[in-house]
């Protein structure tokens, strides 16, 4: 059992001005209380989240805070994309090209399958039909 943290949730947790801040904080509190099992994310999601925070707010301190919150958390397990994972993600991206999923989304699906993670904490409805989405 486990849950994968997606970009939007990570950004909203740290950005008090985000319209999903309160909802994201409530979900993270549940996750940190072990309601969903092990908490996972990936190096690609940290890249995407810090970039999104910077682009949305033009605030480098917030972008760094998003990264630091994730990287420094003893409860969040960061999965790293290996060469093998990259190739599998590329194949998944090509095979799901009609679904509108980004390359990073495909890397998330791949890592979730490889690590038997059954739920994703995400505001991205593109994951519907692939994994159980919590949000």
- Place domain 2-133 in its CATH homologous superfamily: 5'-nuclease (3.40.50.1010)
Q: Report the distance separating Cα 126 and Cα 106, nearest Å.
A: 10
Give Cα separations from 125 to 43, 45, 66, 97, 129 (angstroms). Answer: 21, 16, 22, 16, 9
- Express each pLDDT in 53-67 by its tens digit: 999 999 999 999 999
pLDDT averaged over every residue in the chain: 96
Q: Is the pLDDT of residue 102 over 90?
A: yes
pTM: 0.94
The residues spanned by each domain of the chain are 2-133
């Amino acid at each position: 059992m486990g849950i994968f943290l997606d970009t939007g949730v990570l950004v909203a947790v740290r950005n008090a001005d985000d319209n999903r801040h309160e909802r994201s904080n409530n979900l993270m509190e549940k996750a940190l209380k072990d309601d969903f099992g092990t908490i996972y994310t990936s190096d690609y999601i940290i890249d995407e989240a810090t970039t999104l925070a910077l682009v949305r707010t033009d605030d480098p301190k917030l972008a760094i805070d998003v990264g630091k919150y994730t990287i420094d958390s003893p409860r969040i397990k960061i999965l790293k994309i290996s060469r093998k994972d990259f190739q599998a993600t590329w194949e998944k991206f090509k095979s799901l090209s009609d679904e509108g999923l980004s390359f990073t989304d495909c890397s998330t699906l791949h890592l979730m399958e490889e690590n038997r993670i059954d739920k994703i904490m995400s505001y991205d409805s593109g994951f519907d039909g692939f994994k159980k989405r919590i949000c």
